[in-house]
Structure 1
Amino acid sequence: MSSTAPPIRAEFDPCVTIPSLADLRAALRDDDWATVEAYFEFLEHEEDRAVAARIVDGTSTSQRLLERTVAAQPRSALARTLLARRYIVVGWDIRSSYRAEHVSREQFRQFHEWLRRAEQLLIDVCAEYPDHALAWGARLTTALGLELGLSEARRRYERLAEHHPHHISAQSSLLQQLCPKWGGSWEEAHGFARACLESAPPGSHAGRLVAEVHLERWLDDSDNGHSTYLRSAGVRDEILAAAARSVQHPDYRPGFDWVHDHNTFAGALCLGGHHREAAPFFRTLGDRATASPWHHAGDKEVQFLKHRRTALSKG
């Protein structure tokens, strides 16, 4: 892509980048369970299934289809798991993304009620299918929301990792719990991100975790005023080293989540003022964007376009 005339827009819809996801969304809206089920069976990689599941999560009309399917096919692991994930979304929407002190008692009551409904479905799926990555990944989210603690979250992750040792979506979920805002520590969070990268084969998605934990620390510092955390040369160098071992490695397999990978690296660098180093990620992305991390700095589209323009002018 030419750096002299980038498109003046940002595309946030993953169905545009991955056209087959648009077919999945259409099947959900058409109440076509057979096509939804066939789509998930067609996907070869668990990381891609996790991205496809997020399309289901975000389609509000899917809940009706999933409830009807579970009633008709009560042993369907996929239907139960996707319904549980939809219940988690409903609960989290009620809770909101605010810190706990800004969430009412009634919000918490409803939030926990929806998560317990999801958890019951997921417990049964995981008991019947111990290698079901989508279900174990969702149970990391319920563990977080139900405040079951770090030990239980780690146990759930380890059960998933027995069968899927480099599952980026699950790793990202556990990373959240390891941050101080959910009862962990920066030492644990950084240590986990680095260990995931070191243990994964070159070209894995795991490098993104290093950028994510630095972004989380920047956000935490930003709560106390303007943060300069990401401006550190040491932070910049660690992010670049992680990118070299992951998205910039010859063995990198983009998969469905490649836009998320590149936006995370670009954002972590730009928000630290390292625009020249972020330019290669923007050249790969073109107009494809994700809400995170840009929405943390203001309007997501404005921030993406502004930082892309600066990066491409410098790099």
Structure 2
Amino acid sequence: MSSSSSGRQPGASSGPSFDPYVNLPELVPLRTAAVSGDWTAVQAYFASLDSADKVTFVVGLVAETDGVENMLERAVAERPADPLPRTLLADRYVRIGWGIRGDARAKHVSSGQFDQFHDWLRRAERILIEVCAEQPSYAPAWTVRLITARGLSLGQAEARRRYERLSAHHPHHYAAQQQLLQQLCPKWGGSWDDAHGFARESAAAAPDGSHAGALVALAHLERWLDLDGSEAGAYMRGLPVRDDLRHAAQVSVLHPDYRPGWHGIGTHSAFAMAFSLGGHFEDAARHFAALGDRAAEFPWSYLSDPRGAFVKYRKSALATL
């Protein structure tokens, strides 16, 4: 995902915006500071945050900023004991590496791409090992280490170990749960039983109104992506999937205790897309109503025309209200 991804164009009325800085204007000062290389302002923004969830969320945004590694390398040199610049730099190295690898399945990635990809991830991992040893409760570093574990093919057991280390301090940490869910899918050496099981267990264990229910939707979307043609459509139309999604939505984003925060656009996007792919537009309607003209690049980027699909599905969904 890139922080430069196109959002709604000026004057456009059809929506949606996929730009997190348009959708969440309170993030704009962070982007301004990161783009201008103002470490003092970046650090002050992070200091103002009141939860590990928020810190991890914006670590990812800073890491997506082109060229930010120059500022971060200087900050690390000046503050070698501070976990924040080191974690940001490691995440940036991961993003650089993944950009070289691309999003294709492994069989479509060249050996040269893999060599560069792994080199960047190993650089990130060396930094993160030190941060996690010194700050074992630092959620952003463990979250990025779930990505390096996947990219370096360290296996299911190691990924689960890292998640357990994080969750011992921060149970129900949604960003980390999303990363482990990816690891548990067959494309990364897991199984559908593992992926669906983790999503449902996480949703059940979390307090009502948490983000974790959206993991159920993401697991079904991953499975849909792995199927071909009519089989994929039939899967999402199935009543077991619909009912699974309904239950997960009720205990999470549709629960009275739900507070969307910065993850809300992503969680509602997951449900809106999953229900729409199954033709369950009445169920999708509340999620589109919550989104308005906002959308998260993930998971809509799984579709060939994310903007067109969003507009089409939203029209069908809101017509049921």
Please confirm whether the aligned pair reaches a TM-score higher than 0.5, indicating the same fold. yes
- Deviating more after overlay: 13-22 vs 196-205: 13-22
Structure-to-structure mapping, 1:290-301, within 5 angstroms: 290-301=296-307
- Amino acid of the structure 1 residue aligned with 2:297: A
The structure whose RCO (Cα within 8 Å, separation 6+) is larger is: 1
Cα contact 2:156–2:183 (8 A) shared by 1:
yes
| Closer/same/farther in 2, CA of residues 251 and 27 from structure 1, 3 Å limit | same
State the match for 2:114 in structure 1: 108
Match of 2:3 in 1: none
Secondary structure, aligned partner of 1:216: helix
1:100-249 matches, cutoff 5 A:
100-222=106-228, 226-249=232-255
Q: Counterpart in 1 of 2:65?
A: 59
Question: Amino acid of the residue matched to residue 92 of structure 2?
Answer: R
- What secondary structure sits across from 1:60 in the alignment? coil
TM-score under structure 1 length normalisation: 0.95
Write out the 4+ residue segments of structure 1 that deviate beyond 4 Å after TM superposition: 223-226
Q: Would the alpha carbon gap of residues 222 and 297 (structure 1) be closer, same or farther in structure 2, given more than 3 Å must change?
A: farther
Give deviations 1:15-56, integer Å, cap 9, x for gaps. Answer: 122222110000011211111111112111222222211220
Rounded to whole Å, the distance in 1 between the matches of 2:203 and 2:96 is 32
Which runs of structure 2 are paired with 1:63-82 in the superposition (5 Å)?
63-82=69-88
- What CA distance in whole angstroms lies between the structure 2 residues aligned with 1:15 and 1:90? 21
Matches of 2:25 and 2:213, distance apart in 1: 26
- Any unmatched runs of 5+ in structure 2? 1-11
One-letter amino acid matched to 1:285 = L
Alpha-carbon distance change, 234 to 198 in structure 1, aligned in 2, over 3 angstroms: same
Give the number of equivalent residue pairs: 310
- CA shift, 1:223, in A, is 7.5
Corresponding letter in the other structure for 1:240: R
Structure 1: runs of 5+ lacking an equivalent = 1-5
Quick one: distance in 1 between partners of 2:232 and 2:213?
26
RMSD: 1.4
Amino acid at match of 1:35: A
Deviation at 1:146, TM superposition (A): 0.2
Contact 1:236 1:274 in 2 (8 A): yes
Distance across 2 between alignment mates of 1:111 and 1:180: 21
Contact 1:47 1:255 (C-alpha < 8 Å) held by counterparts: no
User: In the alignment, does 2:252 pair up with 1:268?
Assistant: no
Residue type of the alignment partner of 1:41: A
Query: 1:216-245, CA deviations, whole angstroms, 9 ceiling, x for partnerless residues?
Result: 010111389654211111101110110110
Q: TM-score, normalization: structure 2?
A: 0.94
Identity among equivalent positions (%) equals 52
